[in-house]
Amino acid sequence: MDNVTSEVSQTGRFERVYYYLYLMRKNRLLMLGLCIGMILFLTALFAPWIATHPEDAYGSLNMKEKLRPPGADHFMGTDNYGRDIFSRVVIGTRKSLSIGIGIVLIALIIGLPLGLIAGYYGGKIDELLMRTCDGFLSFPQLLLPIVIGGVFGSSMKINMISLAIVWWPWYARLVRSQVLLVREQLYVMAAKSIGVKDRIIIVRHILANSISPVLVQVSLDLGYAILASASLSFIGIGAKPPAAEWGLMISEARPFFLNFWWTTTFPGLAIFVSVFAFNMLGDGLKEVLDPKVR
């Protein structure tokens, strides 16, 4: 239908920015995700001040207060060692957020350049990289971290690295597929015909035009990474008691949770809410950035 659908505007240098801001404000999903995300970050930042019993997060026992239901003193009750669950959940935010960011960052640092190079140059490098990625992607994501964790013993650091190892192929593949699309655009060929150096073409022309889906994926993955690391901790790989880690807290409560519901419900809700927030953020961003979904 000719150019009816292309909304070309003739005025204003910042028109496009305004347009995106407008779409972002209009997108309730994105705004909600953004809000919860902000709250999470603030909570992590000020955790020791928010927590009512900060010392409980670091392994102090208080057997007198054991397994109290939620109440005025303990908003979310106490666990089998009498520790305040609210405080532990709040302080656990730090661990979860930092490990989530860590995983995504490492994965991005490995995956982005590899995807760019493979996509831009193609050929043997591309073939090798893609076969490697296929190999990684055809197995359950948690399998390798479990093997690594099971063999090397558990620690948050190993956890983070092993998850990043299985995570980067997703980025490599995403970036590559984007680069393959952008590479065929005529402006890339135009730049080549002018004699612009490869390095500049990759950064200025290709990266700049293929970054938005990566941003979406990053915000989604922040959530998934938190989920994955919590799952590992739950299995018994990762955080060690008495650390305040959500997955571990649920795991520790397993023997008695049927009678004391609050011991698992609140840490689980914390995981759910944070992953949900990043999901909304990513989904909203996608709607704003990708005209096809809109």
Partner 1 sequence: MSYLVEVNHLKKYFPLKKGVFSRHKDFVCAVDNVSFGISKGETLGLVGESGCGKTTIGRTIMKLIEPTSGNAFFDSNNLFLLNPKKLREIRKKIALVFQDPYSSLNPRMQVRDIIAEPLTTHTDIKNSQLRDKVLELLSYVGMGKEHMMRYPHQFSGGQLQRISVARALALNPSFMVLDEPTSALDVSVQAQVLNLLADLQETFNLTYLFISHNLSVVEHISHRVAIMYLGRIVEMGPTKNIFANPLHPYAKALLSAVPNPDPDHQQEEVILTGDVPSPVNIPEGCRFHTRCNYKMPICQRIEPDLKEKEPGHEVACHLY
Partner 2 sequence: MVIVLTVLTMVTFFFSTIAPSDPAALWVGPRPKPQQLERVREMLGLDKPIHVRYLHYVKNMVHGDFGKSIRTKQPITEELRRYFPATIELVTFAMIFSLIIGIPIGVYTAFNRESFWDHTGRIFSLSGVAVPIFWLGMMFQLLFCSFWDVLPLQGRISSYMLYTNPIDSITGFHLVDTAITGNWIAFKSAFIHMLLPAVTLSFASLAFIVRLTRSSMIEVINENYIRTARAFGIGENLIKYKYAIKNGLIPTITILGLSYTYEIGGSILVESIFDWPGLGRYMWLSVINNDYPGIMGVTIVFAVICCLVNLIADLLCALVDPRVRLTGSR
Partner 3 sequence: MNRDNILLDIKDLHIEFSLYKSTLKAIRGISLTMHKGETLGLVGESGCGKSITASSIMQLIPCPPGKIVSGEIRFQGENLLIKNDNQMREIRGKTISMIFQDPMTSLNPVFSVGDQIKSVIKHHEKCSTTAALNKAAEMCSMVGLADPKSILKKYPHELSGGMCQRIMIAMALSCRPSLLIADEPTTALDVTVQAQILKLMRDLKKEINTSILLITHDLGVVAKTCEKVAVMYAGRIVEYGTLQHIFKNPQHPYTQGLLASTPKLGGDKNRLETIEGNVPDLTTQLNGCLFKPRCNAVNEKCAMESPGIKEVEQDHFLSCHLFNTVK
Q: Which does 146 bind (CB under 5 to 8 A by kind): partner 1, partner 3, partner 2, none?
A: partner 2
> Does 293 participate in binding partner 2 (rule CB under 8 A)?
yes
Binding site for partner 3 (CB under 8 A): 1-4, 7, 10, 19, 22
Q: Which does 185 bind (CB under 5 to 8 A by kind): partner 3, partner 2, partner 1, none?
A: partner 1
* 85's tokens: 């669950």
> Does 9 participate in binding partner 1 (rule CB under 8 A)?
yes
Of 43, 210, 219, 279, the one binding partner 2 (CB under 8 A) is 279
> Does 69 participate in binding partner 2 (rule CB under 8 A)?
no
SS3 string, 216-246, reads HHHHHHHHHHHHHHHHHHHHCCCCCCCCCCH
Instruction: Give the list of residues 6+ apart from residue 114 with CB closer than 8 angstroms, or none.
Output: 129, 168, 172, 175
> Does 186 participate in binding partner 1 (rule CB under 8 A)?
yes
> Does 261 participate in binding partner 2 (rule CB under 8 A)?
yes
Of 75, 81, 121, 257, the one binding partner 2 (CB under 8 A) is 257
How far apart, in whole angstroms, are the C-alpha atoms of residue 135 and residue 139?
7
How far apart, in whole angstroms, are the C-alpha atoms of residue 4 and residue 117?
37
How far apart, in whole angstroms, are the C-alpha atoms of residue 191 and residue 156?
46
Residues forming contacts to partner 1 in the complex (CB under 8 A) are 8-11, 13, 15-16, 185-187, 189-197, 200, 204-205, 208-209
Residues forming contacts to partner 2 in the complex (CB under 8 A) are 131, 134-135, 137-143, 146-153, 223-224, 227, 230-231, 234-237, 247, 250, 254, 257-259, 261, 264-265, 267-268, 271-272, 275-276, 279-280, 283, 292-293
